[in-house]
Amino acid sequence: MTDIDSRIDEDLDRRDSAPGEETITEHEPAGGLTGYLLGFGLAILLTIASFLAAQTDLIYQPAVISALVVLAIAQMGVHLVFFLHLTTGSDNTNNVLALAFGVLIVALVVLGSIWIMGHLNQNMAPMSAHQAEMMP
Amino acid sequence: MSDATGAFTSDIAAGGATRDVYRPGHGHGSAHGWATGHGQGGPASKFVTVAYGFWIFLLSDIIMFSAFFAAYAVLARATAGGPTGRELFDLTRVAVQTGLLLTSSFTGGLATLAIHRRSMAGTQFWLLVTGLLGAAFLFLEVQEFAAMAAEQAGPSRSAFLSAFFALVGCHGTHVSLGLLWLGTMMAQLWVKGFRPEILRRLHCFGLFWHALDIIWVAIFTLVYLLGASP
């Protein structure tokens, strides 16, 4: 009996599960081979949608950025649910909370940088032709 | 169950019945504390603690990537008169790369299922397919970098290209290290078999490989597709 085997028989609701653990979604649509096939199919669809949004005129041009960001976030969600087996179950609370904190820091770093640097750019004095020539 | 009798119920005895661990509406009674995520029920098994620790590492790795993404987003238009993303990015190659990495994430999942069946042949086969797809992805990326460097569009050309090579190169480095780890795990699994520590390492590798695919999703949409769209 190995570490994993002995725990499968355990009452799964009575312990925290490891991130990405196969057993927690075993009897759900997101588990087993069906889960991986579903996730793979959804990820392919979202990838094709991203390429279509960027390469065709299907989407109003100024909205392409938003469409791409939304599709990327959706695909990350598909990966988290179907490949990394993240659930909302109470045995997964620790994993989800750690992820939520990570997402908060990522949002602060990325959005904060874009916001601040955009403002700094606008407040810069315009460069004269002479200065532009002197640029290295 | 009244509070009086509940106070005498030990955790072991109370665990016999199937119940909702959070017991809504029962407040903070002494006998009701058997909930996951509260650190109760003794230390978690080594499999859970190791995987959770690796999960924390992956999240900090993603936070490190967020700094590279922020730098790229700020510097994307700072081309210093050099080539722009529109001129440089070959979206056909990016589509093939995306397909390769996504499929390798999928076959990595199939390897995890084979591990659960304790099938040595199946595990080694799917791990090998995962590694070959990852190597093909890496080959295309090296080819792209070499082509860009040959067009005088190396990392020293402009701030945009410095940020691009830092971000995409960091992901490529992760994939190379992942391939090294994958080869090591195939050898260890072959020699040692499905021992608990090997199972833990394989599980961590699976998490790592899926996380790399998540980062690639952000790279191919935000760097390549956004950079190549008008």
Inter-chain CB proximity A2 and B199 less than 8 Å: yes
Q: Is A99 on the interface with B (CB under 8 A)?
A: yes
Q: Is residue B39 part of a domain?
A: no
Same domain assignment for residues B62 and B166: yes
Same domain assignment for residues B13 and B69: no
Q: Is B53 on the interface with A (CB under 8 A)?
A: no
- Nearest chain B residue to A93 by CA: give it: B37
| Mean pLDDT score across all residues of chain A | 84
Does residue B148 surpass a pLDDT of 70? yes
Rounded average pLDDT over B99-117: 95
Inter-chain CB proximity A19 and B207 less than 8 Å: yes
Same domain assignment for residues B130 and B182: yes
- Name the pLDDT band for A114 (thresholds 50, 70, 90): very high
pLDDT in tens, B76-86: 988 888 899 89
Q: Is residue B122 part of a domain?
A: yes
Please indicate whether residue B12 or residue A134 has the higher confidence score (pLDDT): A134
* Structural domain for B19, as ranges: 3-32
Same domain assignment for residues B69 and B97: yes
Asked if residue A59 lies in contact with residue A38, where contact means CB atoms within 8 angstroms, the answer is: no
The rounded percent of chain B whose pLDDT value lies above 70 is 81
Q: Is residue B117 part of a domain?
A: yes
Inter-chain CB proximity A99 and B59 less than 8 Å: yes
pLDDT in tens, B32-69: 445 555 556 667 889 999 999 999 999 999 999 999 99
A6, A11, A16, best to mutate vs chain B, most B CBs in 10 Å:
A16
Write out chain A residues lying below 8 Å of B67, CB-based: 109
Task: Give me the pLDDT at residue A93, please.
Answer: 87
Same domain assignment for residues B88 and B138: yes
User: Which residues lie below 8 Å from residue B33, measured CB to CB, with a gap of 6+?
Assistant: B11, B40
- Nearest chain B residue to A112 by CA: give it: B70
Count of structural domains within chain B: 2
Write out chain A residues lying below 8 Å of B98, CB-based: 47
- Nearest chain B residue to A97 by CA: give it: B37
The rounded percent of chain B whose pLDDT value lies above 90 is 74
Q: Is residue B114 part of a domain?
A: yes
DSSP string, chain B: --HHHHTT--HHHHTTS---TT-TT-TT-GGG---TTTT-SSSPPHHHHHHHHHHHHHHHHHHHHHHHHHHHHHHTT--TTS--HHHH--HHHHHHHHHHHHHHHHHHHHHHHHHHTT-HHHHHHHHHHHHHHHHHHHHHHHHHHHHHHHTT-STTS-HHHHHHHHHHHHHHHHHHHHHHHHHHHHHHHHHH-S-HHHHHHHHHHHHHHHHHHHHHHHIIIIIIIHHH--
Q: Is A109 on the interface with B (CB under 8 A)?
A: yes
DSSP secondary-structure letter at A88? S
Write out chain A residues lying below 8 Å of B35, CB-based: 90
Same domain assignment for residues B170 and B217: yes
Same domain assignment for residues B26 and B83: no
Q: Is residue B37 part of a domain?
A: no
Whether ipTM exceeds 0.90: no
Same domain assignment for residues B152 and B184: yes
pLDDT in tens, B155-170: 999 999 999 999 999 9
Between chain A and chain B, the number of residue pairs with CB atoms below 8 A apart is 171
Same domain assignment for residues B20 and B116: no
Place of tokens 């993404």: B69
Same domain assignment for residues B16 and B51: no
Same domain assignment for residues B103 and B203: yes
Same domain assignment for residues B128 and B204: yes
Residue boundaries of the structural domains of chain A? 16-134
Please indicate whether residue B20 or residue B142 has the higher confidence score (pLDDT): B142
Query: Residue A25 and residue B171: Cα distance in Å, rounded?
Result: 29
Write out chain A residues lying below 8 Å of B229, CB-based: 54-55, 64
Q: Of A43-52, A56-65, A114-123, which one has max mean pLDDT?
A: A43-52
Q: Which of residues 54-83 of A touch B (CB under 8 A)?
A: 54-55, 61, 64-65, 68-69, 71-72, 75-76, 79-80, 83
Q: Is residue B41 part of a domain?
A: no
Does residue B105 surpass a pLDDT of 90? yes
Does residue B26 surpass a pLDDT of 70? no
Question: To the nearest whole angstrom, how far is the Cα of B139 from the nearest Cα of chain A?
Answer: 21
| Mean pLDDT score across all residues of chain B | 86
